[in-house]
Amino acid sequence: MLPPHRHDSPLEAPLSLGDLPENADWDGRIAYLDRDGVLNRWKENYVNSPDDVEILLGSGKAITSLRGMGFRICVVTNQSPIGRGLWGHDVLAQINAKLQELLLEEDQGAEIDLILYSPYLPSEGSWSRKPNPGMLEAGRQIVDNAHRFPGKPNNLSYGDDWIDRPDESDSILIGDRKSDIIAAGRFGVKGILCDSESGISGVIDQILSDKER
């Protein structure tokens, strides 16, 4: 199965959710976000250190807008440099922490609820590597469990083993690659393709207008 990994915690560990803006009740919507080319600038030879992290202008404000609409924020990112032996999970933890820091510097409401990543090579065929939907499956269950059963550990299922799935029609995935959109389709969530130069800020107005209809 080769399950996804979670930033700074084991998959099974309880997730603590912060309040949504104005203490709004969560209605079950999640915004699944790719990382490179969506929140931070994509680099041809990978983002290899915290110093390489450069957020795309407007990413923090866009996350705040999504949270204001009632979305929980779950980052789902392929990170094969770990599988290639270029660097380890500890380096990725530093990179992800720097990303969150920079997003909050741009807008103090830009809180990420959960970061999941797939460290595997494409040749390993992991269910958690996009275009497969394993990270989205895990993200939904972890966020749902945190909302419904605060403080309780996660017992995750994948693929055909996961029954009684919730409706994902009101959730979204934003990515800059075809693999992101395929993963969205396989999971049953609306996929939104952005340009890697503008990232999430280039599509946020479209999302806001769609939700107002």
The predicted pLDDT at position 11 comes to 97
Return the pLDDT at 176: 98
User: For 169, which DSSP code?
Assistant: T
What would the pLDDT profile of 79-110 be if each residue is shown by its tens digit? 999 999 999 999 999 999 999 999 999 999 99
Please state, in angstroms and rounded to a whole number, the distance separating the CA atoms of residues 135 and 116: 6
The per-residue pLDDT for 136 is: 98
Tell me the backbone φ, ψ of residue 100, rounded to 5 degrees: -60, -40
**Helix/strand/coil (H/E/C) assignment for every residue in 54-83:** CECCCHHHHHHHHHHCCCEEEEEEECCCCC
For residue 213, pLDDT beyond 80: no
What pLDDT score was predicted for residue 209?
83
> Using an 8 Å Cβ cutoff, are 143 and 103 in contact?
no
Dihedral Cα 116, 35, 26, 18, nearest 10 deg: 70
CA distances from 19 to 23, 24, 80, 116, 134 (A): 6, 8, 33, 20, 26
109-168 pLDDT, tens digit each: 999 999 999 999 999 999 999 999 999 999 999 999 999 999 999 999 999 999 989 999
Question: Angle 138-35-178 (CA atoms, 0-180°, nearest 5)?
Answer: 85
90 catalytic, yes or no? no
Catalytic residue from among 19, 25, 27, 36: 36
Both tokens assigned to 185: 């389709």
Q: At what angle do helices 59-68 and 204-212 cross, to 10 degrees?
A: 10
| Set 8, 27, 34, 176: catalytic member | 34
| Residue given tokens 């999640």 in the structure block | 30
* Residue 34 annotated as catalytic: yes
Record the pTM: 0.97
Tell me the domain boundaries of the chain. 5-212
**pLDDT tens, residue by residue, 29-77:** 999 999 999 999 999 999 999 999 999 999 999 999 999 999 999 999 9
Residue 210: pLDDT band by 50, 70, 90 thresholds?
A: confident
Q: What is the DSSP letter of 152?
A: P
Q: What is the CATH number of domain 5-212?
A: 3.40.50.1000
Q: Is 194 exposed, middle or buried (0-12, 13-18, 19+ CB in 10 A)?
A: buried
Specify the DSSP class assigned to residue 144: H
Query: Angle 32-33-39 (CA atoms, 0-180°, nearest 5)?
Result: 160
pLDDT score at 208: 87
Q: Predicted confidence band at 1 (pLDDT cuts at 50, 70, 90)?
A: confident
